[in-house]
Structure 1
Amino acid sequence: MSNVHPTALVADGASLHPSVTVGPYAVIGPQAVIGPGCSVGAHCVIEGRTTLGADNRIFPFACLGAAPQDKKYAGEPTQLVIGQRNTIREFCTFNRGTVQDRGLTSIGDDNWIMAYVHIAHDCVVGNQTILANNVTLAGHVQVADLAIIGGLTGVHQFVKIGAHAMAGFASRIAQDVPPFMMVDGNPLAVRGLNLEGLRRRGFPAARMAGIKQMYRLLYRQGLTLEAACQAMAELPATHPQAAADVALMLSFLAACTRGIVR
């Protein structure tokens, strides 16, 4: 392939679309599948059962698809699957899954993943997220669509971060972060709603009013979590434009296993 630098090592069996470009000294293993329009930077390593969709940009020294950092891993044929149009900056490390979970680490579409980000085994990253420099996701973490995680933030195993949530710089996230919330610090605390993010995404005033009321019920009225959920379930009657947001919140809270930041 004319787009592959002569110093790159592409193993027999690797499947690269003819439009893929591969930079100097990159190493691509025999089970890799790389879709159209992808660019693989210098010194990148793509190994294991790793599949990339179209138009991903991988910057130099990234390592994708290595064995999980799990002492129980015994060489099972697990996977890393990456969607489309992701930007993956320098020195990122994404590991494959484990058979103790789905056997799959998955990353969606249109994510902006900055340098030195680590995504451990069995993580699920949605679409249009931003993971700033040195974000570290431990195993089994879930990051929903449009979430933003600030630099130098560590996320504990099995934590869930909801859609439209935002975590500030150098946060320690050891509990689930509900959708729409802005959190920060060590110990972690909810600072309010991610209002600026919601405005930039075009949320109308009526929809924002319903989300603000959910925030009050969860964090400002002294209710138990059960009572807050019961009150939120009644919100669509008075805030119909936020009905989908209420459903998203209630679904998230029902699936929490580590408790939410409160």
Structure 2
Amino acid sequence: MAELPMYFAVSHEDKFKLFQNTIYNRPDGCRVNVLWPIENARGHCLTMRLCNEIENTSIIRSWNLSEHDSCFWSYTGSSMNIMLESYDLLIKAPIVFMEEDSKDTLPFNSYSFTPSCTEFTDDHDTYTAARVYNTDPNSAANTCPIPRSRPVVPYRSPTPPRVQARAEPRAEPQAEPQVRPSLPAHITKIVLADSIRKNEVCPITSEDISETNATVTPCGHVFTTEAIQQWLSLTSSKGLCPVCKQKIK
């Protein structure tokens, strides 16, 4: 069984909801992810990453319930800096993908928010592991689920082993850049919604971006569908994004 990180966010319509996780190490050896809804949070920068993670399974329960259930989730590769206003605490929370039936197992959280900005990177990141309790996290002995300051244990998403580069003969022609894989559907939706919210225009034609006329490229840039198709049909484009010059076709 996998364990959710200390803080994580899930998408809700075009916004996000934040949760905190604490691990209850029960006497029978079962480790239960006890989840708490976090309110009064302010989203800062959303960092988008390309990441193909396997699906994880965790045993979870709401902080105020005794029944537990199985939850299926995976890292999207993206994360957000979030200010917890009530605690004056800035955290970094990974964006976790869950199917709708798994979201139903999360504790009720009426609060949702949006990031203040979005950036893209291919770097891997480090998240904070959830704290482990040998008594129920909702017992009288554990009255504050969000400590202001304490040592943290880093959690790193699995990374494929590196392949050592081999020296190539100088006469060898340079390899063609690889085409970037398409963004996951839920990431595409977030990028497009953010572009519309900021009233961005197509970098090629300066037309307004809308849900009906837009295309999000694998590198995360938004164009009108007609404009990017015409651009990529040109031999001179070389299949590169006109903004960042990464190969997208």
Scaled by the length of structure 1, the TM-score of the pair is 0.22
Higher CA-based Rg = 2
Compute the TM-score of the two structures, normalised by the length of structure 2: 0.23
Structure having the larger proportion of residues in strand = 2
Relative contact order, higher structure (CA 8 A, sep 6+): 2
